[in-house]
Amino acid sequence: MNPVLLIHLNQIHEDGLHLEGEVPSEILDLEDPLYRPTGPIQYSLDLGISGHSFFATGSLSLDFTLECVVCLRDFQRRLRLDEFAMQLDLTGPETVDLTPYVREDILLALPTHPHCDWDGKSVCPGAAAILSKTEQESRGSSVAPSGSAAWDALNKLNIQPDP
């Protein structure tokens, strides 16, 4: 594992260079307790030189533990950037450090107000409490259809006795 994303330009051939690997999430230098990386940054990058400029495109991904701004519970989220792109005019140095570019793109992509129901599958207890209160006010005490569907699924899971 490379400590940083330091690219030696002589590694890059005419048809470019594809790089995949991991760098420690410590390069992000995150001090906000809302965002806690739980693994390394994984990258898959295509590097190239065109004239006097160096460019890199590709994807970055990283797992986080985030704190929901509504219910304050921790939840996991994978951050994935598929359109990482940077370009740099070459002025002499034989190496390019991609670390600051990777860091900046990831920090910009972090959700400003993390919500634990971001994936549409989880239910935020905080948001659900607000929602059910609204529902009760507008619909009375009717039972949501999803509730009975859940019981049907449970009934189908009845454990069979051993033969």
Pick from 49, 71, 109, 128 the residue near Zn ion by CB under 5 A.
Answer: 71
3-state DSSP percent of the chain in helix, strand and coil, to 5 = 30, 35, 35
70 is an interface residue for Zn ion by CB under 5 A = yes
Count each helix (H run) and each strand (E run) in the chain, helices first. 3, 7
Residue 88 or 127: the one with the smaller Cβ distance to Zn ion is: 127
Given phi > 0 = left and psi -120 to 50 = alpha, else beta, which region is 159? beta
Written as six digits, the tokens of 65 are 């533990």
Look at the block and give the residue holding tokens 């590694």: 11
66 is an interface residue for Zn ion by CB under 5 A = no
CB of 127 to Zn ion, least distance (A): 6
**What is the distance between the alpha carbons of residues 85 and 101, in angstroms, rounded to a whole number?**
9
CB of 126 to Zn ion, least distance (A): 5
Sign of CA dihedral 85, 27, 108, 39: positive
69 is an interface residue for Zn ion by CB under 5 A = no
8 Å CB contact between 37 and 25: yes
34 is an interface residue for Zn ion by CB under 5 A = no
**What is the distance between the alpha carbons of residues 158 and 26, in angstroms, rounded to a whole number?**
47
CB of 65 to Zn ion, least distance (A): 13
Pick from 27, 68, 86, 102 the residue near Zn ion by CB under 5 A.
Answer: 68
116 is an interface residue for Zn ion by CB under 5 A = yes
81 is an interface residue for Zn ion by CB under 5 A = no
Residue 103 or 115: the one with the smaller Cβ distance to Zn ion is: 115
Q: Which parts of 122-161 interact with Zn ion (CB under 5 A)?
A: 124, 126
- State the residues that interact with Zn ion by CB under 5 A: 68, 70-71, 116, 124, 126
